[in-house]
Chain A
Amino acid sequence: MKSILIIFFFLYPALFANAQKKEKKIQFASLTGISFIAGENSNNMGIQTVNGIRFKKSWIIGLGLAYDPYQVPSIPVFLELWKYLGQKNYSPFMYADAGRNITMHSSRYPSGNVYESYHFTAANYVEAGIGISKSFTKKTKVFLSAGYSSKQFNYDMTSKYIFYYYPSSGNNSYHYAYTFQRLAIKLGIEL
């Protein structure tokens, strides 16, 4: 079910955008593309889409959803602000994202392990960068961007391995907090 919703979320904007007939001051905007994410520990390919509105001609604001496999597969959900720095055939732009990184792990007792339980929580996700966009048609642009991306991954591990007669160690809880800093290059299409 989750997969169907994600696919729908990615495809729906394109269908919607084609249905736009007239230019308005506030227009629907969709930015969808693939991303190459490079960090200290690995290089990965991801995908992301942002759907929102274009206003004052050069601004786009929208809600973003991505699949980010770097280190710990996750789904960042974020708000994106996009600003064109010109209105030419080749238009530079800058963007900034801020939101939450939702891990694809579920909180649980791992199979076969009765000693520890894990609780995963959403953490911060931010990205900012610059890029350039080229118009192919009146409604369609291709963009290439490079930016700095940071996602956090937090979880609590509680060990049930209680040292019985030493209650001072009975609460074996450990909080883990990771910050992954990456460079993100994105190639995508704006509708």
Chain B
Amino acid sequence: MLAAILLLTLKSCIKDSGKMSYTYYTPIVHTSASVRASIKNDIAQPIQNPGKIYIIGTTIFLAEKEKGIHIIDYSNPSSPVNKGFIFIPGNEDMAINNNILYVDCYTDLMAIDISNLNHIVLKNYAANIYPERSYINGYSIDSGFVVTDWIKRDTVINAGTSPNPFNYYGIGYTMLGSAYSPAAANTSSSGSSATGTGTSGSMSKLTILNNHLYTIDSYNLLAFNISNPASPALLNSTNLHLGIGETETIYPFQDKLFIGSTTGMFILSIANPDNPTLLTTFTHATACDPVITDGKNAYITLHSGTVCSGIKNELEIVNISDILNPVLSATYPMTQPYGLSKDSNTLFVCDDVLKIYDASNANALTLLQSIPMNSPYDIICQNGIAIVTAADGLYMLNYSNPSETKILSKLPVISSK
């Protein structure tokens, strides 16, 4: 009786509670004009968040995600030297032609004169080339402004009183800001391929061929004439949107461009460089997928668990002997692969570790070696030296004997406080 009375009188006095704690970021913005005016070379900065890579001569241009570009001299691959830094907010990609460095700066494409690395000069820019990148972390940034940094904030909010785990699809949007929509996946990457100017990694979305600069936004291939390198002139835009999927990476091979998208691979002819023409499309399960080719086969890595969605993690070999009828010829399971590169018969894949295959027979790859790294991301292989970005640093490897590839050096990531 006492218990019943207690129950009835006290039950209404006690409440359940739930809290959710998370970290969010608020942007620091500056005007585009002030950011353009501040583009300059700086002293070397620690590598903190390495991204895509581009090499020309004995210089590596390494993207510091969203912050700028490290300039690294690897004349001696056993002892690379971090020489300087170019501050470019929102930067992820780059390509170089005739001493002009082309970079993205959020929505804009910039042309920077790097003939004197001690005194670089912004020569020109094209605004709103990547319009989807005005949406950042739930914020829609007005044109004329650029996010230069983020302020980290920890917060706690009411999470109600009824927990419901396993039912939070899309929480990233709701928690980070309702304004954001996942417009694009700029996971561009490419295998190594000399462009006559420099060499980009397989994750690139910028490439240069025959005095033309090609780049992709979410759904389009954009062609620029760079006969006057300092003043890229937009020629046309080729729509590659097939209703679903977004373009991610671009890889040049001879007179063709191989474009990776979240739903497949596009092959375009640039026989007329002013006017790329779609030749064929190879579709696959939804996933992010950098692509490279050796002319006989296209090598595509699919990875899941990102904005690209999908559940596949594998390497696909697509026979392109008949360029108009690409045929899937083999698949190899992976953990979560990103960039890849091929030199002669040796194939390198950035997976949970760096995997090195004998690709003499693409339909029966033989794993030669696995080199432990922390989440390798992008790779360029050239002349027996492999340059790899990973979460823990920039690696140089000697693969003159592929089955005995050795790490020569590593510029480590130095975490910020």
Whether, in the assembled complex, A164 has its beta carbon less than 8 Å from a beta carbon of chain B, the answer is yes
Among A114, A120, A185, contact of B309 (Cβ-Cβ < 8 Å): A114
Does B185 lie within 8 Å of A164, measured CB to CB?
A: yes
Which residues of chain A are near B2, meaning CB under 8 Å?
Answer: 146
Chain A positions 135 through 170: 1 when the CB is less than 8 Å from some CB of chain B, otherwise 0: 000000000111010000101010111111111110
B116-158 with Cβ < 8 A to chain A? 133, 136-138, 150, 152
Which residues of chain A are near B19, meaning CB under 8 Å?
Answer: 176-178
Does A177 lie within 8 Å of B18, measured CB to CB?
A: yes
Using CB atoms, name the residue of chain B closest to A162: B306
A-B contact count (CB 8 A): 153
Which residues of chain B are near A38, meaning CB under 8 Å?
Answer: 7, 11
Does B169 lie within 8 Å of A113, measured CB to CB?
A: yes
Does A176 lie within 8 Å of B18, measured CB to CB?
A: yes
A163 to B4, CA, bound (A): 54
With contacts A110-B166, A145-B3 known, is A163 near B15, CB below 8 A? Answer: no
Does B162 lie within 8 Å of A164, measured CB to CB?
A: no
Interchain nearest-CB distance for B372 vs A (Å) = 22
Whether, in the assembled complex, A44 has its beta carbon less than 8 Å from a beta carbon of chain B, the answer is no
Does A178 lie within 8 Å of B186, measured CB to CB?
A: no
Does B11 lie within 8 Å of A39, measured CB to CB?
A: yes
Which residues of chain B are near A72, meaning CB under 8 Å?
Answer: 163
A41 to B160, CA, bound (A): 11
Which residues of chain A are near B49, meaning CB under 8 Å?
Answer: 167
Measuring CB to CB, which residues of chain B are less than 8 angstroms from any residue of chain A?
Answer: 2-4, 6-7, 10-11, 14-25, 49, 65-66, 92, 133, 136-138, 150, 152, 159, 161-163, 165-166, 168-172, 175-176, 180, 182, 184-187, 304-307, 309-311
Does A41 lie within 8 Å of B307, measured CB to CB?
A: no
Using CB atoms, name the residue of chain A closest to B162: A41
Which residues of chain B are near A40, meaning CB under 8 Å?
Answer: 11, 14-16, 161
Interface size class of A (residues with CB under 8 A): 35 or more
Does B16 lie within 8 Å of A181, measured CB to CB?
A: yes
Does A178 lie within 8 Å of B163, measured CB to CB?
A: yes
Which residues of chain A are near B4, meaning CB under 8 Å?
Answer: 185
Contacts beyond the supplied A41-B162, A153-B163, A160-B305: 4 A-B pairs with Cβ under 8 Å:
A169-B176, A177-B18, A179-B17, A185-B3
Does B166 lie within 8 Å of A179, measured CB to CB?
A: no
Among A144, A163, A171, A180, contact of B23 (Cβ-Cβ < 8 Å): A171
Whether, in the assembled complex, A55 has its beta carbon less than 8 Å from a beta carbon of chain B, the answer is no
With contacts A164-B186, A164-B306 known, is A175 near B3, CB below 8 A? Answer: no
Interchain nearest-CB distance for A34 vs B (Å) = 13
A40 to B136, CA, bound (A): 40
Interchain nearest-CB distance for A58 vs B (Å) = 21
A153 to B162, CA, bound (A): 11
A131 to B6, CA, bound (A): 12
Interchain nearest-CB distance for B175 vs A (Å) = 7
Whether, in the assembled complex, A102 has its beta carbon less than 8 Å from a beta carbon of chain B, the answer is no
A113 to B171, CA, bound (A): 13
Does A114 lie within 8 Å of B14, measured CB to CB?
A: no
Which residues of chain A are near B152, meaning CB under 8 Å?
Answer: 168
Does A168 lie within 8 Å of B137, measured CB to CB?
A: yes
Whether, in the assembled complex, A20 has its beta carbon less than 8 Å from a beta carbon of chain B, the answer is no
Which residues of chain A are near B92, meaning CB under 8 Å?
Answer: 165
Whether, in the assembled complex, A89 has its beta carbon less than 8 Å from a beta carbon of chain B, the answer is no
Whether, in the assembled complex, A54 has its beta carbon less than 8 Å from a beta carbon of chain B, the answer is no
Which has the most chain A C-beta neighbours within 10 Å: B3, B176, B304, B309?
A: B3
A174 to B170, CA, bound (A): 13
Which has the most chain B C-beta neighbours within 10 Å: A159, A172, A185?
A: A159
